[in-house]
């Protein structure tokens, strides 16, 4: 059976850990040449090493998604080294636990806006330019259930993720006619280093687990499965959609 991404070139941001790392490794296993991008160089190097050890092809881009010149260089690396850009997965994000709005710091707001929303905008901007030259592509942005439902421990994080969802619909409306599909995946709680760090204690982590309809958190590969579908040609007629992958959490919420 041929790999689902055979002949494709993909950029995965946030590839040093969590969903980004799992996705970069899985995409390479499915035949893609992958640019693993992250500010965390040691983590991204480990991702690239894992791909290489399995016989895949990968390049490292140490970069900050909130910096336009670094995003442009990341896209240029993909095109220069692998010849084109077919897939862009925007997984890079930061989550800072914040108090309610009246006590919310401007610094934390600005940091999350810069990475989580501006960063996705910049990656889409430069990624789309490369895809237009190559005849099309697929972009999948990672949002969050907190971008749909007004809950969570970080106001700015939820607002940025709501922005990512709407940015996706805007990009889809503008570029689907030109052969670029743009979609979003909105995960619920996922067992990643970032989520465990934001939980801040074992008790809070366990509370999230036990209150979930499935009595567990998602594993990163369960989100990667959705990203793989939307990135691949299997989703050739899917654009402008927000796929919620949360184990029924939002559907089961009591209002």
Contact (CB, 8 A) for 209 and 149: no
- The alpha carbon of residue 210 and the mean position of all alpha carbons in its chain are separated, in whole angstroms, by 26
SS3 at position 80: helix
Residue 9: phi and psi, rounded to 5, are -120, 125
Could you give the angle at the alpha carbon of 167 between the alpha carbons of 68 and 129, nearest 5°?
45
237 catalytically annotated: no
**Given the residues 126, 157, 175, 237, the one annotated as active site:** 157
Burial label, 57 (beta-carbon count in 10 A; 0-12, 13-18, 19+) = middle
In the chain, which residue ranges form alpha helices assigned H by DSSP? 18-29, 41-53, 68-82, 106-112, 119-134, 155-175, 193-199, 202-210, 220-231
Q: Which residues belong to the active site?
A: 157
């Amino acid at each position: 059976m041929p790999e689902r991404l055979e002949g494709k070139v993909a950029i995965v941001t946030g590839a040093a850990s969590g969903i980004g790392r799992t996705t970069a490794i899985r995409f390479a296993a499915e035949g893609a040449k992958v640019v693993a991008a992250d500010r965390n160089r040691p983590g991204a190097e480990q991702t690239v090493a894992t791909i290489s050890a399995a016989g895949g092809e990968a390049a490292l881009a140490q970069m900050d998604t909130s910096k336009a010149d670094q995003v442009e260089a990341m896209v240029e690396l993909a095109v220069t080294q692998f010849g084109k850009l077919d897939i862009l997965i925007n997984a890079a994000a930061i989550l800072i636990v914040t108090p309610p709005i009246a006590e919310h710091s401007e610094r934390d707001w600005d940091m999350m806006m810069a990475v989580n929303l501006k960063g996705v905008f910049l990656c889409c901007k430069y990624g789309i330019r490369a895809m237009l030259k190559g005849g099309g592509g697929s972009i999948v942005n990672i949002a969050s259930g907190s971008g749909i439902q007004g809950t969570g421990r970080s106001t700015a994080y939820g607002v940025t993720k709501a922005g990512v969802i709407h940015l996706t619909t805007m990009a889809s409306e503008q570029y689907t006619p030109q052969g670029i599909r743009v979609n979003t995946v909105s995960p619920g709680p996922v067992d990643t280093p970032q989520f465990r760090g934001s939980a801040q204690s074992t008790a809070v982590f366990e509370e999230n687990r036990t209150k979930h309809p499935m009595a567990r958190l998602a594993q990163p590969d369960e989100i990667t499965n959705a990203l793989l579908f939307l990135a691949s040609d299997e989703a050739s007629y899917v654009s402008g959609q927000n796929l919620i992958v949360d184990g029924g959490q939002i559907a089961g919420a009591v209002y």
